[in-house]
Amino acid sequence: MARFEPVLLRNVGVAGVRRLETYRARGGYAAAAKALRRMTPEQVVEEVKRSNVRGRGGAGFPAGVKWSFLPADRKITYLCVNFDESEPGTFNNRYIVDHDPHQLLEGILIAGYATRATVAYIYIRVEFHETFHILQKALDEAYAAGLFGKRAFESSYALDCHIHRGAGAYVCGEETGLIESLEGKRGWPRIKPPFPAIKGLFGQPTVVNNVETLCCLPHIIDRGEAWFRSMGTPGSTGPKLYTISGPVNRPGCFEAPLGLTVRELIYGDDFGRGMIDDKKVKGVIPGGLSVGILTGDELDCKLDFDDPAEYGLLGLGTAGVIVINEDTDIRKVLLNVTRFYAHESCGQCTQCREGTAWMYKIAKRIAAGAARNEDLDILIENSHNMGMMPGMSICGLPDGAVYPIRTIVEKFRSEFEEHIRRQVPAAVEQTLRRINPAVYEMPIAGRKG
């Protein structure tokens, strides 16, 4: 691809850019000043709508459209910033705030003005200890400079902003689970409707936006929606942060227009620079664990909001790419996936609580070398009977659980079957006794396979 000038990462590596004075010297807060002084909230919303910036947190919903769902007669509006970033393989939000915290704060100021929010809450994952202190220091500087808590830039708009440290639950990345946690309750997602835009935090209209989404706003306001749409693909506009981890020569966080292929991200000189020891790619999880898996023959998949669906994936997700090399036992991949979702299910919905737990138990048996071909069929069957998409759950966690499980089993079924074919019956019996001794204490008539 052609050489790309960083947008969101343009300040990475600049000495002292975490400080307000350095950020402002490089043009920081000029876009916020422009919005608050020269534009109405409605004009900001329309500019964001025309840019077609879609949520970078996983769902990919257009941000400006989301804002327009707020009732016109509202008296109080809250802005919640989703910085939970719990999706495995994803660290783009943390990377950008670690290096350029004021870019997020400027985006919050613009979004708050556009939605007429009175208070913003940044919900940050508790494990991000250093990042929290970096962000808090930047927020303190912004308050001292009169950007928050007072009428900023001699305008009539004032916004308060607070950082809230969550307890580290994956399900709190879902916007209503996040809101419940912010209110001091257990982080259980809410039944919808009503949606947060109508009844959210403390029962008031609420907007929930991802960190990277908000970081796009200063650039849209500064350079215009046409400039933003000039990058990416027709349905997926603007720059995107991609993270890549696994056995590649250069893991990290990189920026490119939406539409970069998986192959370019792994092998490009500006990105992953190929595989360690020139190993072959067995599989790639391209958007965080919940979107599913690609095989080594599907690396031309474009990382935008549309193309992943052509490969049987849930979507782009967070663009947190995890690479798996040819030496990896696919049974262990399945085990790690099922273990994660069984642990992170909040337990509120029966099919998610029971389904993720049973799929983990099946995966443990498969990984232990005591599998049956029927186990693969059961995993596929269960994957079609869980989730918000088939109308079975309150939130999308089970959808995110079943897509990787289904695609791993379907795309690598021959490898699973080969492992099963090689199993020694006596060893299988011994393994089953070891991993599930309770079954073998039953009378013979009570045993189940």
> What is the spatial distance between Cα 285 and Cα 435, in angstroms, rounded to a whole number?
29
Does the pTM surpass 0.85? The reply is: yes
Q: Which residues contact 176 (CB under 8 A, 6 or more apart)?
A: 189, 190, 192, 196, 200, 395
Query: From start to end of 87-152, where are the E strands?
Result: 119-125
**Span 20-229 CATH architecture:** 3-Layer(aba) Sandwich (3.40)
- pLDDT at res. 278: 97
Domain 330-441 has CATH 3.10.129.10: no
Give the domain ranges of the chain.
20-229, 232-325, 330-441
Q: Same topology for domains 20-229 and 232-325, yes or no?
A: no
Q: What amino acid occupies position 373? A: N
Tell me which of 296-310, 320-334, 394-408, 417-431 is least confident.
417-431
- pLDDT at res. 390: 80
What is residue 34's three-state secondary structure?
A: helix
* Residue 307 scores a pLDDT above 70: yes
Domain 232-325 has CATH 3.40.367.20: no
230-245 pLDDT, tens per residue? 999 989 999 999 999 9
By 3-state DSSP, what share of the chain in percent is helix, strand and coil, each rounded to 5? 45, 15, 40
* Residue 282 scores a pLDDT above 50: yes
376-407 pLDDT, tens per residue? 999 999 999 888 878 889 999 999 999 999 99
138-164 pLDDT, tens per residue? 999 999 999 999 999 989 999 999 999
